[in-house]
A and B are shown apart, each in its own frame.
Chain A
Amino acid sequence: GDSVTQMEGPVTLSEEAFLTINCTYTATGYPSLFWYVQYPGEGLQLLLKATKADDKGSNKGFEATYRKETTSFHLEKGSVQVSDSAVYFCALSLYSSASKIIFGSGTRLSIRP
């Protein structure tokens, strides 16, 4: 079935370090791909998305590129800040499922000052 696999956390980095959170997917169709972020005590919010192969989504310094050949959508940021500490969820949506989203298990990121 359709699924999303992302790297286990927690991930702890120092401020200004480079971040990569790996995400791979399995889907029967041509999904849209997303990264959602959950800050402490809040609901999830969309961080970025890509709707077709080779698209790059970007927001707040974060980027992810839709790689169909490797079925991946890795999240990257060149220089993380303490305020980036949160849980990050990779997700996919198949139009055949209306707006239902399949989420990965989440990766907790902590940034040290």
Chain B
Amino acid sequence: DAGVIQSPRHEVTEMGQEVTLRCKPISGHNSLFWYRQTMMRGLELLIYFNNNVPIDDSGMPEDRFSAKMPNASFSTLKIQPSEPRDSAVYFCASSPPGGGKGEQFFGPGTRLTVL
């Protein structure tokens, strides 16, 4: 079975540009999570969805960040405009109905560099 798929794996962009990160969760999973990982701040939960509905977006740093989940098999995280401090590895994770007793399945991440 395919795991969580993220694209692109690496993204280099210039400050002020729009960045879109994509995620395909594991088929049959109904919860999806976006995380950001940096050396300074560690692993941060940005937002999570349940049945395509955003449940908690309190971790989204500011209005420049937005996330959507138009259907059960696709989600995007958009940064507009991007800034150098957004440079990080962004992970998407999914979990099955019932929460899988808390287990989440992580994608390989997108390493974002904003120059």
Contacts and interface: CB of A to CB of B under 8 A. Distances in A.
Interface of A: 32, 34, 41-46, 49, 51, 89, 91-93, 95, 98-101, 103, 105-106
Contacts of B4: 43
Contact of B103 (A42, A46, A95): A46
Contacts of B105: 45
Contacts, number: 59
B56 interface: yes
Contacts of A103: 42-43
Chain B binding site: helix, strand, loop or mixed by DSSP?
strand
19 contacts: A32-B101, A42-B108, A42-B109, A43-B93, A43-B108, A44-B43, A44-B93, A49-B102, A91-B102, A93-B99, A93-B102, A95-B102, A98-B50, A98-B55, A99-B31, A99-B99, A100-B48, A101-B102, A101-B104
A104 to B, nearest CB: 9
A101 B91 CA distance: 14
Chain A binding surface, main DSSP class: strand
B106 A93 contact: no
Nearest to B9: A41
Interface string B83-111: 00000000101010001111111111100
A103 B101 CA distance: 15
A49 B42 contact: no
Contacts of A95: 99, 102
B45 interface: yes
Could you say which of B101, B104, B107 has the most chain A C-beta atoms within 10 Å of its C-beta? B104
Contact of A106 (B31, B42, B93, B109): B42
Given A42-B108, A98-B31, A34 B42 contact: no
Contacts of A100: 33, 45, 48, 56
Contact of B91 (A43, A49, A91, A106): A43
